[in-house]
Structure 1
Amino acid sequence: MSIPIYIIDDEPTILQALKQLLNMEGYHTEVFSDARDAMKKLDRDWPGVILSDINMPGMDGVAFLREALKLDNEFSIVMLTGHGDISTAVESMRLGAYDFIEKPFSNEMLLDVIKRAGEKRALVLENRELKNELDAQTGAGPRLLGNTHKIKALRRLLMQIKDIPADVLIKGETGSGKDLVARFLHYNSYRKNENFVAINCGAIPETMIESELFGFEAGAFTSAQKKRVGKIEHANGGTFFLDEIESMPMALQIKLLRVLEDRRIEPLGSNRHVDLDIRVIAAAKIDLLELVEKGEFREDLYYRLNVINVEIPPLRERKEDISLLFQHYAALASSRFNTDAPRLTNEQLIRLQQHNWPGNIRELRNAAERFVLMGGQTVFDDPSNAETDSELTLAERVARYERDVLESALREHDGRLTEVQQQLGLPRKTLYDKMRKYGLVKDDFKLP
C-alpha cells in the first residue's frame, strides 16, 4: 500500500491518530492543519487519497473540495464529518467527493473506504495514461513506435509538454530520432496547422547560416538581389527546429540568444523588427554542457534552450521494440519499392536482437530496406557488436524465445489473434496475458 494519503484536520489529536493508524497499514501520510497548505501541494497527477474534515477555520472542507476539484474533478476525496454535518456531507457528495465518514468511525470502515478510494484513483490515472497513449499513437503526424518502458515514458512526457509555451532541448545519439520527436511535438500541439521549419546547423556553410536564419532585404549584401524571408520568420506561429545546435558558430549563438529572449528578429539590412510567436526546439547529439565547460558553447544559450529537456533512449536500450520497428520499416519499404516484404525467420529476428545498433533507428531502417530489396537477406550483422546468449540468465533466454515466437506468429497473421491462438495452441486468456507481459499490441502487427 504505497499510495500517499493527505489528512486535513484542525484538531492535532485526530491528525496524530489517523497518521499513526495509516502508517501502521503501510500508507505514506502527510498531515495538514490548514487546508490551504494541502491545496498548494496538489497537482493533477497526484495519485493518492485525501481525508478532509468539514468544519475547519480558514478554508473549510467544502471550500477545499471545490478548489481541489477545479484542479482535477476526479480526485478521491473523503470527507470526515460530525453528526451535525450530515446535510453538508451529502452536499459534498453532490459536488464530487468520493465518500463521507461520520465521526466516530471504526478503523475497519476507514481503511475499507481508503482502499476503495485509492483503487478508484489508480484506475482514473491509468485510464488517463491510456488515453494519452492512444492520442499519441493515433493522432495525425508522425508516430513514436514501441512498447518498452522507456519509449512509453518518452511518449507520456511529450504529450505532457506538447502545448507548454517553453523551448525544448532534445538530446539523442545519431540516428535515434531527434527530428521525429520534434515533429511529433509539433503535430500533436495546437501549432500543428502552422509551419514546421527545420534547419541543420551542421549542414549549412558558416557564411550562409545567418542569412538563412534571419533573412535579408534586397541589397543587404552584394548577392542579395531581392528580399528573402528567413527560416525563423517562416516558422512564425509554428515550430522552429534547430538540429545539431552544437555546430552553430559562437558569433551566431549570441544573436540566437537575443531572438529567444526578445521573441523578435531583425532581417539583415533592415531596421524593422518582426515579432515572433514560435516554439523553438533544439537538438544535439553530444552533451552541450560539456561543450559549455570547454568554452565551445555559450552557457547562457544552453540554459535558455534547456527549459525542458528530452532525452531519447538509444535503440540498444529498447531492444524489445526492434522487431516491431523492423516490421514497420520493411512494410514501408515494400510499399515504396512495390514488392512483397519477406517474413523474418526466428533466426533472423535473434540476429536483429543481438546487434547493438550504433546507428540506432536510422541503421535499423536501412537494414529493413536492404532486407526487402535483397529478398530476405540481411547484411548488417556484425558478431563483434552483438550481445551473446551467454550474457543472459536462463529466465531471460526463455523470455526472449517466448517473445520471439509470439512476435513471429503475430507478424505472420497480421495481428489476427484467433489465428495466432490456433497456431500456438494457446487459450485466448493465456495469449492476452503473454501479450500484456511483453507489451505486444495486435494493431502494431497489422500491415500499414
Structure 2
Amino acid sequence: MDHATSQDPLWKPYSVLVVDDEPGMVSFLQRALASRCGTVDCAGSVEAAEPLLRRHLYDLIVLDIALPGRSGIDWLLQLREEGFAGDVVLMTAYADLDTAIEALRAGAADFLLKPFSLAQVLNALQRCFERSRLLRENFVLRREVSERTFDVEGVVGQSEAMLAACERLKRIAPTPATVLLTGESGTGKEVAARALHRMSARASGPFVPINCAAIASELIESELFGHVKGAFTGAKQNREGLFYYARGGTLFLDEIGELPPAAQAKLLRVLEERRVRPVGSEQEIPIDVRVIAATNRDLKTEVTAQRFRQDLYYRLQVVEVTLPPLRERPEDLPLLVEHFMAQLVPALGVPRLALDARTQARMAAYDWPGNVRELRNFVERSLILGWFDLGPEPEVAAESTGSALESLEAVEKRHILAVLAACDGNKSEAARRLGISRKTMDRKCQAWGVGDAP
C-alpha cells in the first residue's frame, strides 16, 4: 500500500497514544504521526500512560511489550478486561512465534517487529483506522435500525409549499452550513435531514440521528460527547459519544428544543470550536461533523422565555427550512398514500387498496394533526383492515370535517388499545409495534384514561 494514503484527512479525527521507554522510538513515532493524526500523546511506561488514558478517549495505542514495570501485554490484558475498545498495536525487538501468538490472544490488532520502517507503521495504523471506520458505520446502522420509527426513502410531494421546501434543501445541501429544520411534529423533518445528507459531499459518511427528548437530561452530554472511565457513577469504562461516531458525516439533533441548559452551553462551544471534550476528560478531540437540528417548538419564543440560549439559536439557524403541515398541502395526499402503499404492501403481504375520489375528498377534509406520520400509520392500518376506514359518511356536508376527525380518532384509539391489549399492557412493546415513541403512547393513554403499565 502506498503510504501516501495515510495522509488522507480522515486520519485527522483520530487520536493515538504511544507508550515506549526508548526516546528515539518515541521521537520517531511522534514526528511520523503528529502531522497525520489529530492527537498524538506519548508516555514512557504503563504508569505514565494510565493517567493519560483516564483523561482522553484514544482511538489507538501503539504499545511496546518490554517496558519498565508492567509489560505491554499485561497492560493490554487489563485494558481489555476494563472494556477498552480501541485498537492496540504492539511493538517489540525480541519477537518469536510464541510472543506473536500471546500478543494476538491478548487482543492486539497488529504486531510490529523493531526496527520497522515508516511505511510499515503507517500501513498498520491505516488498517486499524479502516477497521475503526467500519465498526463506527456498523454501530450507526444498528442504532438506526433499532430506533427508526418513520422510514421514507425521500421527500414526497408536488404541492407548491413542498416544492419550495425541496428547492431550498437542494440549494443548501452541498454547503457545509448548519441547518435548522422547523415544522409541526410528523412533517418529515428527519426525512429532510436524510435528504440533505444524501445530497451533500458527506453522503459516503455516517448519518447519526438522536432524539434529544428521548434521553434523560443527566445522560445527554455523555450520549453526545462521550465520557471517560470514572467520570460519574456507573461510568465503568471509556465511551465515545455520537459526535465521535458521526465523524466525516452528519449528526441530526432532533427535538433540539428539549436539550437541557448545560448541554446547550456545551453544544454551542462544540459548534464554535469544532472540538469535543468527553465528560470527565481534560482533553478535546477535533471533530469533522455537519450538524442538522430540528424542532417543532418556536425557538424564538423559547429564547424569549429564557428556556433556550439565544447564541445557540443563532448558531443553529444559519439556514432554516420550515416543512409545511399536511393540512396545507392536501394535493399531496394521493402521492403519499401511493408511496406508503408501495412500501407497506410487500412488508405486510396484503393487496393494494384503490383510492377513489370520495375517499380522497374525505381525507382532504381531515386536518391530520399528526401530519405525514399519522397518514403513514393510517395507510398501514387500512391495508391491514382491507379498506380505508374513515368512519360513517357524514349526513351534513358542513359537518364532514368534524365527523371525519372524530371517526379517525376513534379508529386510532381502537387500534392502539387493541395492540396494547395484545402486548399484555406493555406500553413500550406496543409503541414499538405501532411505530410511535413511548412518550406518544403515554400521552395518548393518559388522554384516554388508560392506567399506568410497563
TM-score, normalising length: structure 2: 0.52
Cα pair 2:254 2:294 within 8 Å, conserved: yes
What is the CA-CA distance between 1:232 and the residue it aligns to? 1.1
Give yes or no for the alignment of 1:368 onto 2:368.
no
Deviation at 1:330, TM superposition (A): 2.0
Aligned to 1:260: 271
- Which amino acid is the alignment partner of residue 241 of structure 2? G
Match of 2:213, SS state, is: coil
Structure 2 counterpart of 1:322, one-letter code: L
Judge conservation of contact 2:254–2:293 (CA < 8 Å) in 1.
Answer: yes
State the SS of the aligned residue for 1:342. Answer: coil
Pairing 1:433-444 to 2, within 5 Å after superposition: none
SS in 2 for 1:229: coil
Please state whether the residue corresponding to 1:144 is helix, strand or coil.
coil
Quickly say closer, same or farther: Cα 1:381–1:156, change in 2 above 3 A. Answer: farther
Query: What is the distance in 2 between the residues matched to 1:242 and 1:155?
Result: 20
Structure 1 position 244, deviation (Å):
0.6
Q: Secondary structure at the match of 1:202?
A: helix
Provide, for residues 87-116 of structure 1, a one-character-per-residue CA deviation record: whole Å limited to 9, x for no partner.
Answer: xxxxxxxxxxxxxxxxxxxxxxxxxxxxxx
1:229 is matched with: 240
Letter in 2 for 1:174: S
**Pairing of 1:283-432 with structure 2 (within 5 A):** 283-379=294-390
| Backbone CA RMSD of aligned residues | 2.2
Q: How does 1:236-247 map to 2 (within 5 A)?
A: 236-247=247-258
Give the residue type in structure 2 aligned to 1:333: L
Shift of 1:194: 0.6
C-alpha displacement at 1:345, in angstroms? 2.3
> CA separation in 2, counterparts of 1:312 and 1:350?
23
Q: Which residue identity does 2:323 align to in structure 1?
A: I
- The offset of 1:274, in angstroms, is 1.1
Which letter maps to 2:178?
Answer: D
Look up the match of 2:4. Answer: none
Residue by residue over 1:45-71, the C-alpha shift from the partner in whole angstroms, topping out at 9 and shown as x without a partner, is: xxxxxxxxxxxxxxxxxxxxxxxxxxx
- Structure 1 position 371, deviation (Å): 1.1
Partner of 2:141 in structure 1? Answer: none
Give the match's secondary structure for 1:216. coil
1-side partners of 2:230 and 2:306: how far apart?
A: 35
1 or 2 for the larger relative contact order (CA 8 Å, sep ≥6)? 2
**Equivalent residue letter for 2:229:** A
Asked if the contact 2:362/2:400 (under 8 Å) is kept, the reply is no
Aligned to 1:79: none
- Alpha carbons of structure 1 residues 383 and 326: separation in structure 2 relative to 1, 3 Å: farther
CA–CA distance in structure 2, aligned partners of residues 251 and 387 of structure 1:
51
- 1:279 and 2:290 correspond: yes
Are the equivalent residues in 2 in contact too, given 1:219–1:225 (CA < 8 A)?
Answer: yes
| 1:205 alignment counterpart | 216
Deviations 1:193-246 (A, max 9, x none): 111111111110111111101101122223112211101111111111111111
- Residues 216/389 of structure 1: CA separation in 2 closer, same or farther (3 Å cut): closer
Q: Supply the distance in 1 between the matched residues of 2:391 and 2:263 (Cα, whole angstroms).
A: 40
Per-residue deviation at 1:346? 2.0
TM-score by length of 1: 0.53
Q: How many residues align?
A: 249
Distance 1:309 1:381, change over 3 A: farther
For 2:232 and 2:307, how far apart are their aligned partners in 1? 29
Q: Give the match for residue 26 of structure 2.
A: none
Please give the alpha-carbon distance, in whole angstroms, between the structure 2 residues aligned to 1:268 and 1:193. 29
The one-character-per-residue Cα deviations of 1:235-289 (angstroms, maximum 9, x if unpaired) are: 1111111111111111111111000000000112222221111111111101100
Q: 1:379: Cα distance to partner?
A: 4.2
Residue 240 of structure 1: SS of its match in structure 2? strand
Match of 1:195 among 206, 212, 231: 206
Superposed, 1:10-159 pairs within 5 Å as 142-159=153-170
What is the DSSP-based 3-state SS (H/G/I as helix, E as strand, rest coil) of the residue aligned with 2:292? Answer: strand
Q: Which of these two proteins has the greater Rg computed from alpha carbons?
A: 1
| Aligned equivalent of 2:54 | none
Shift of residue 383 of structure 1?
6.8
Give runs of ≥4 in structure 1 deviating > 3 Å: 379-384, 386-390
Alpha-carbon distance between aligned partners in 2 of 1:266 and 1:238, rounded to the nearest angstrom: 19
Q: Match of 1:199, SS?
A: strand
CA separation of 1:146/1:249 partners in 2, compared to 1, >3 Å: closer, same or farther? same
Partner in structure 2 of residue 215 of structure 1: 226
CA contact (8 A) 1:367 1:379 kept: no
Q: Distance in 2 between matches of 1:297 and 1:222?
A: 28
The verdict on how the C-alpha distance between 1:387 and 1:250 changes in structure 2, with shifts beyond 3 A counting, is: farther
Give yes or no for the alignment of 1:177 onto 2:184: no
**Which deviates further from its counterpart, 345-354 or 200-209?**
345-354
Asked if 1:248 is matched to 2:234, the reply is: no
Report the Cα distance in structure 2 between the residues aligned to 1:380 and 1:250, rounded to whole angstroms.
Answer: 45
Counterpart of 1:218 in structure 2: which amino acid? K
1:331-386 Cα shifts (integer Å, max 9, x gaps): 222111011112122221211111111110011101111110000132479979x9
Q: Give the percent of matched residue pairs that are identical in Structure 1 and Structure 2.
A: 45
Q: Distance in 1 between matches of 2:363 and 2:187?
A: 17
